């Protein structure tokens, strides 16, 4: 956690005015570089710069490449490491290079985006919204179903696991739960998209994708891109503490993803895929 938080001095104004020490969530840029092509003609391309919280950087890079459809599995990666040919020590841990196998095709133009993103940009940098789901496959038919009480209990479990958030209050989280509500894996980051990329990267490296037997909990709102990333990971149920956007709901409905919003205070809204949520009272309207 040391590189994820930073000390600062603040003036705390309340009933009294006091000078205190405080902790901040660190935000630094991470550049992802890709090495690809035949052995005799290797290419290097900088494909993304994102503002992130340091930690799990390799997972972030892997998750980003996977969610963008550049890699399909971990076996396509030869190596992943920090770049050493930089001028300063700090920069060495802010640039990650991922080397792909020589036979992995990479068509930069086909990806249709400029590969510059920020931690809160949503779908900015995309050539078009339609291009986002061109490499998404429909989810397989499943009998995945979660009891409503399991969903109600999930936010508190994820919040308890958020160590950096406990000290700073400034990070988003993405967590994977099983059917019984056990928290299997979680990641934190100043960016909602980065937290999910880290989660997908860790799952990819552990050969756990598709994540068809887990549900995803997000600590904030749900954007189109977060649903797209979850879809790439084979996740059929997404729950979020915040609200979904209209495009997030549209994509969830198109791919039969169960999407829940405002999961807090023993309540939630079902925006699509109600058949995966076991409720005590039978729903009158089915999505």
Residue 260's nearest CA partner among 230, 231, 217 is 217
Of the residues 121, 124, 136, 145, which is catalytic? Answer: 121
**pTM for this prediction:** 0.87
Average pLDDT over residues 237-263: 95
Model pLDDT, residue 208: 96
Question: CB count, 10 Å around CB of 109?
Answer: 6
Q: Is the pLDDT score of 147 beyond 60?
A: yes
Q: Taking the mean position of all CA atoms in its chain, how far away is CA 248?
A: 14
Tens digit of each residue's pLDDT (9 = 90 or more) over 150-160: 999 999 999 99
Residue 171 DSSP class = -
Residues 104, 110, 116, 118, Cα dihedral to 10°: -90
With 0-12 CB in 10 A as exposed, 13-18 as middle and 19+ as buried, what is 99?
A: middle
Q: Is the pLDDT score of 225 beyond 50?
A: yes
Model pLDDT, residue 123: 47
With H, G, I as helix, E, B as strand and everything else as coil, classify residue 10. Answer: strand
What sign for the dihedral angle of Cα 197, 203, 205, 208? negative
Tens digit of each residue's pLDDT (9 = 90 or more) over 50-95: 999 999 999 999 999 999 889 999 999 999 999 976 565 556 689 9
Please indicate whether residue 124 is annotated as part of the active site: no
Mean pLDDT, the chain, rounded, equals 86
Model pLDDT, residue 228: 92
């Amino acid at each position: 956690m040391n590189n994820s938080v930073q000390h600062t001095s603040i003036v705390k104004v309340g009933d009294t005015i006091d000078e205190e020490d405080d902790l901040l969530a660190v935000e630094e840029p991470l550049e992802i570089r890709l090495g690809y092509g035949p052995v005799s003609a290797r290419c290097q391309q900088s494909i993304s710069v994102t503002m992130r919280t340091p930690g799990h950087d390799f997972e972030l890079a892997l998750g980003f490449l996977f969610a963008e459809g550049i890699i399909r599995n971990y076996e396509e990666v030869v190596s992943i490491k920090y770049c050493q040919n930089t001028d300063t020590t700090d920069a060495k841990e802010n640039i990650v290079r991922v080397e792909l196998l020589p036979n992995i095709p990479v068509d930069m133009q086909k990806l249709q985006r400029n590969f510059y993103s920020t931690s809160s940009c949503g779908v900015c940098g995309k050539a078009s919204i339609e291009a986002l789901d061109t490499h998404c496959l429909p989810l397989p038919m499943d009998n995945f179903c979660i009891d409503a009480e399991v969903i109600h209990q999930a936010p508190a479990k994820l919040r308890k696991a958020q160590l950096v958030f406990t000290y700073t209050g400034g990070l988003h989280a993405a967590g994977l739960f099983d059917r019984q509500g056990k928290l299997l894996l979680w990641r934190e980051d100043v960016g909602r998209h980065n937290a999910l990329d880290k989660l997908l990267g860790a799952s990819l490296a552990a050969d756990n994708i598709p994540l068809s037997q887990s549900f995803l909990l997000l600590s904030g709102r749900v954007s189109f891109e977060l649903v797209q990333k979850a879809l790439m990971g084979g996740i059929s149920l997404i729950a979020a503490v915040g609200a979904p956007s209209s495009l997030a709901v549209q994509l969830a409905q198109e791919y039969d993803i169960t999407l829940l919003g405002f999961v807090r205070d023993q309540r939630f809204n079902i925006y699509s895929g109600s058949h995966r949520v076991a409720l005590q009272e039978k729903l009158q309207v089915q999505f």
